[in-house]
Amino acid sequence: MDFERLGEWVFILGVVIAIISGLAYQAMDVTSAGYIMVVLVILGLIVGFLNIKDKEMTNFLIAVIALVAVGAANLNQIPLIGSYLGYMVLNIAAFVAPAALVIALKAVYNMASKKG
């Protein structure tokens, strides 16, 4: 299996874990939620290293900024489903933030290493 396919599957796995754990977040204890966050961070790092190519960096970082903005929208105030949406967005942000860190560092390195 090549790294590109592996990266795709890791991305899908991360999103599925983020959504399912967001739906079940209220039923989890603090320790379980912490372990899930660690798993999401590790999967996010893998996605950052394997999936995002140089030409996709800017679009990816803009998408991460949009996700963070959605997370700041206080979704918990929506009746019935707000807390579930809030936890899902929190988990998705925990998943993509490490990937964004990797991509941002790659972008800084690329800019710093160019001879001009």
Residues 6+ apart with CB under 8 A from 111: none
For the cut 90, the answer to whether the pLDDT of residue 39 exceeds it is: yes
**CA angle 59-64-67, nearest 5°?**
130
Q: Buried (b) or exposed (e) across 41-61, using 16+ Cβ within 10 A?
A: bebbbbbbbbbbeeeebeebb
pLDDT score for 115: 58
pLDDT in tens, 46-88: 999 998 888 889 999 999 999 888 888 888 888 988 888 989 9
Tell me which of 29 and 2 has the higher pLDDT: 29
Which tens digits make up the pLDDT trace of 6-28?
A: 888 999 999 999 999 989 987 88
State yes or no: pLDDT of 97 exceeds 80: yes
Which pLDDT score, from 0 to 100, does residue 5 have?
Answer: 84
Q: Judging by beta carbons within 10 Å of its beta carbon (0-12, 13-18, 19+), is residue 114 exposed, middle or buried? A: exposed
Confidence category of residue 102, pLDDT binned at 50, 70, 90: very high
Q: What is the model's pLDDT at position 77?
A: 87
- The average pLDDT across 93-110 equals 93
